[in-house]
């Protein structure tokens, strides 16, 4: 069995994590992290934007056209000192990590995986929750479209078991389309305040309809109605339009108990081919342990 001593969050790390402001317990409600209000309206995703159009080229005080910036947007000349100050400011954001010699925190090692990746992942997830990490079950899911263009977004993990990592969403959303074209994804649990991350990647499949139905039944009614109201990832004129759609579906299902599961909504499970546990360490000599099938090995930082 895993040793509590080697898995307990170090006291200094836990104290640092405890000062984080909690955004509320949305674990039982939202499927996307940090979207409490949008979840109540069924957004369940992120705002869609049209193509970014470059404005007319900017001009400097001398009338010279400024050089292009990212995505073709033109920026005026920037004072060199401002750039240097910004770089220095970013450099000062460097975080120093621990070590057995520095603070007594134990090093992640291959023997921590003696009981398998699921056991350790669940333990780290519990540690993050106990330390007060806001939405400790938030994961950054990466997908690619048919042209190989990547996209990421934050969603909430709703299952960790032998089948893999489960999350729920609108099948007609942007990520749903990407997973339809390329059924392979990555997921990262980013517990920065604890100096820990877990990376998972593997093929993706939809969960069985009965699994989706069981989870759907546990969702708040407002979230169920919101899933009907939102054509996730599609453009919409205004927030008021979204509220009108919510009002319409609320009236439509006024006598429905429970609200039925939409055909376009359900779960995905990432079946891990690789699982990597990361622990921040002093001098950037981080600990990385990768699990690939039955092989557990240390990676260089």
Q: Among 91-95, 118-122, 257-261, whose mean pLDDT is lowest?
A: 91-95
Which residues lie closer than 8 Å to 201 by C-beta, 6 or more apart?
Answer: 184, 185, 186, 187, 270, 272, 273, 274
Residue matched to tokens 């957004």 = 43
**Which residue spans within the chain are E strands per DSSP?**
138-144, 150-156, 159-161, 164-170, 184-191, 196-206, 265-270, 274-279, 287-292, 295-299
Model confidence over 172-227: pLDDT tens digits?
Answer: 999 999 999 999 999 999 999 999 999 999 999 999 999 999 999 999 999 999 99
- Residue 296 pairs in a beta bridge with 291
Which residue numbers belong to the known binding site for FMN? Answer: 153-158, 168-169, 175, 197, 232-233, 278, 288
Is the confidence at residue 230, as pLDDT, over 50? Answer: yes
Model confidence over 267-276: pLDDT tens digits?
Answer: 999 999 999 9
pLDDT value of residue 80: 63
CATH, domain 4-47+100-299, list 3.40.50.150, 1.10.760.10, 2.30.30.50, 2.30.110.10:
2.30.110.10
Neighbours of 124 (CB within 10 A): 23
Task: Enter the tokens of residue 116.
Answer: 């398998």
Pair 159, 212: CB distance under 8 Å: no
Q: What is the mean pLDDT of residues 42-55?
A: 39
Catalytic annotation present for 284: yes
Q: What is the mean pLDDT of residues 3-22?
A: 43
Q: What is the mean pLDDT of residues 115-137?
A: 98
Task: Enter the tokens of residue 37.
Answer: 């209000």
- What does the alpha-carbon distance between residue 221 and residue 188 come to, in Å, rounded to a whole number? 29
The pTM of the whole model exceeds 0.85? no
Annotated catalytic residue, options 92, 284, 290, 298 = 284
Model confidence over 161-174: pLDDT tens digits?
Answer: 999 999 999 999 99
Task: Using CA atoms of 185, 183, 34, 149 in order, give the dihedral in degrees to the nearest 10.
Answer: 80
Give me the residue spans of the domains in the chain. 4-47+100-299
pLDDT value of residue 95: 86
Q: How would residue 137 be classed by pLDDT, with cut points 50, 70 and 90?
A: very high
46, 115, 183, 207, 292 from 204: Cα distances, Å: 21, 24, 5, 9, 17
**3-state DSSP call for residue 139?**
strand
- Tell me whether residue 132 is exposed, middle or buried, using C-beta atoms within 10 angstroms of its C-beta: 0 to 12, 13 to 18, 19 or more: middle
CA 261-156-51 angle, to 5 degrees, is: 85
């Amino acid at each position: 069995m895993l040793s509590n001593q080697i898995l307990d969050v170090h006291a200094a790390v836990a104290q640092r994590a405890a000062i984080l402001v909690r955004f509320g317990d949305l674990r039982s409600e939202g499927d996307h992290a940090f979207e409490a209000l949008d979840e109540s309206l069924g957004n369940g995703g992120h705002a869609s934007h049209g193509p970014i159009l470059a404005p007319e080229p900017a001009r400097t005080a001398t009338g010279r056209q400024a050089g292009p910036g990212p995505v073709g947007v033109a920026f005026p000349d920037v004072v060199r000192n401002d750039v240097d100050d910004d770089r220095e400011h970013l450099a000062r954001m460097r975080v120093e990590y621990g070590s057995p010699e520095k603070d007594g925190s134990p090093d992640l090692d291959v023997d921590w995986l003696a009981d398998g990746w699921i056991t350790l992942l669940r333990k780290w997830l519990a540690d993050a929750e106990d330390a007060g990490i806001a939405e400790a079950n938030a994961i950054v899911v990466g997908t690619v479209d048919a042209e190989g263009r990547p996209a990421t977004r934050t969603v909430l993990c709703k299952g960790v078991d032998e089948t893999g990592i489960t999350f729920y969403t609108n099948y007609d959303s942007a990520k749903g389309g990407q997973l339809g074209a390329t059924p392979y994804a990555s997921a990262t649990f980013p517990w920065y305040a604890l100096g820990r991350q877990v990376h998972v990647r593997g093929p993706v499949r939809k969960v069985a309809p009965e699994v989706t139905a069981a989870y759907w039944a546990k969702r708040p009614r407002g979230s169920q109605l919101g899933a009907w109201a939102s054509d996730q990832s599609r453009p919409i004129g205004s927030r008021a339009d979204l509220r009108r759609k919510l009002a319409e579906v609320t009236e439509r299902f006024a006598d429905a108990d429970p609200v039925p599961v939409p055909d376009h909504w359900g779960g995905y499970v990432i079946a891990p081919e690789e699982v990597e546990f990361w622990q921040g360490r002093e001098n950037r000599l981080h600990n990385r342990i990768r699990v690939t099938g039955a092989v557990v090995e240390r990676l260089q930082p």
